[in-house]
Amino acid sequence: MVSMTKIEPLGAVRERVTAELRQEIIAGSLRPGDRLVERELAERFGVSRVPVREAIRALVAEGFVHFETPRRTVVRRLTPNDVKELFELREALEVYAAGLAASRATPQDLAEVRGLLDRAAAATGAGDAELITDLNSRLHDRIVAMAGNSLLTEALEPVAGRLRWMTRRNEEWPQLLVEHRELYEAIASGDPDRARAHALTHVRTNYRSTVRHLFGEEAP
């Protein structure tokens, strides 16, 4: 009997390469200024250069890499203005989402957030930066989902990866856990004004911490 090797569709290969490169950038394995060479990446992933080229284009569109020249692609170096603009967007949308979540969250929604907080507490105690980053991102995604507004979710989706990339550098994990617990309590209270106030404080505190950790300076 002749064995049949399953061929992975080109689209699936592209998505896999894109996801792995994105995660390497977020985790810091690929650092700002590092060059992405199609031939080398194709060899490393065991694929042709076509899905690598398409993956690089996708990461350019997401803001992770950019073309220094037509023949040289590097991981993007974040600037203070990049951080400022993304946090301004986060402030506008996540604060609004928290208010909606306070008025629309179900008991099951709140139980899921409590579960994420419990796991984040354990990861914080263990100092597991990768898991902490993942759980914190999932917590924010869950709050946005609780708002019950699909357009709001779609508006945040294109920048979610970049926000995770930036906040990954902020290692003030115990403080973040405290803020997330306070935000949860505010949403669970069912008071939209209280939820928005805590979300605003959290986003602005996180902005200052991120600027400090990225650039060694205080945010304006």
What pLDDT was estimated at residue 167?
A: 81
Claim to verify: residue 134 and residue 71 sit in the same structural domain: no
24/100 same-domain check: no
Choosing from 44, 75, 106, the residue where a domain stops is 75
Query: How far is 176 from 198, CA to CA, in rounded Å?
Result: 12
Last-in-domain residue among 75, 107, 124: 75
Token representation of residue 61: 């569109």
Provide the β-strand partners of residue 72: 69
pLDDT per position as a tens digit, 33-83:
999 999 999 999 999 999 999 999 999 999 999 999 888 999 999 999 999
Q: Residue 6: pLDDT band by 50, 70, 90 thresholds?
A: low
pLDDT per position as a tens digit, 176-198: 999 999 999 999 999 999 999 99
180 shares a domain with 126? yes
Per-residue pLDDT, averaged over 103-127, amounts to 97
- pLDDT category at 2 given cuts 50, 70, 90 is very low
The mean pLDDT value of the chain amounts to 92
Domain containing 19 — which CATH number? 1.10.10.10
Looking at the 3D structure of the chain, how many domains does it have? Answer: 2
Q: Which domain holds residue 56?
A: 10-75
Q: Is 206 found in the same domain as 111?
A: yes
Contacts 24+ apart (CB under 8 A), 192-195: 192/98, 192/99, 192/100, 192/102, 192/103, 193/99, 194/102, 195/98, 195/99, 195/101, 195/102
